[in-house]
Amino acid sequence: MADASLSDIIFTTRAMRRLKPDPVPDDLIRKILEAGVSAANGGNFQRWRFMVVTDRAVKHAVQVWYKKAFDEVVGPRYAKSPPPPGITPEKYARQHHAVEYLTEHFHEAPVWIVACLDEGTATPTRWSGASIYPAVQNMLLAARALGLGSTLTTRHLLYAKEAEAALGLPDGVHSYAILPIGWPLGKFGPVGRTALGDVVFSEAWGRPYPG
Give the dihedral of Cα atoms 12, 15, 21, 24; nearest 10 deg. 50
User: What percent of the chain has pLDDT above 90?
Assistant: 76
Reported confidence tier of residue 23, pLDDT bands at 50, 70, 90: very high
Q: 3-state DSSP call for residue 45?
A: coil
116 and 50 in contact (C-beta within 8 Å)?
Answer: yes
C-alpha distances out from residue 137 to 10, 108, 177, 179, Å: 10, 22, 11, 10
pLDDT at 161: 96
pTM of the model: 0.92
pLDDT at 100: 93
Q: Would you say residue 126 has pLDDT above 80?
A: yes
52-67 pLDDT per residue, tens: 999 999 999 999 999 9
The DSSP-derived string for 152-178 is -B-GGGGGHHHHHHHHTPPTTEEEEEE
pLDDT at 1: 44
Class of residue 51 by CB neighbours under 10 A (exposed 0-12, middle 13-18, buried 19+) = middle
Q: Would you say residue 8 has pLDDT above 90?
A: yes
Class of residue 119 by CB neighbours under 10 A (exposed 0-12, middle 13-18, buried 19+) = middle
Angle at Cα 62 formed by Cα 125 and Cα 143, nearest 5°? 75
Q: Which amino acid is at 130?
A: A
Q: Which amino acid is at 13?
A: T
Specify the range with the lowest mean pLDDT, choosing from 34-43, 121-130, 179-188: 121-130
127-167 pLDDT per residue, tens: 999 999 999 999 999 999 999 999 999 999 999 999 999 99
Give the dihedral of Cα atoms 199, 115, 99, 93; nearest 10 deg. 10
State the pairing for strand pair 111-118/48-53: antiparallel
CA–CA separation, 52 and 27 (whole Å): 13
Q: Would you say residue 199 has pLDDT above 80?
A: yes
Quick one: which of 146, 92, 139 has its CA closest to 113? 139
Angle at Cα 98 formed by Cα 97 and Cα 101, nearest 5°? 90
Compute the Cα dihedral for 34, 40, 45, 46 and give only its sign. negative
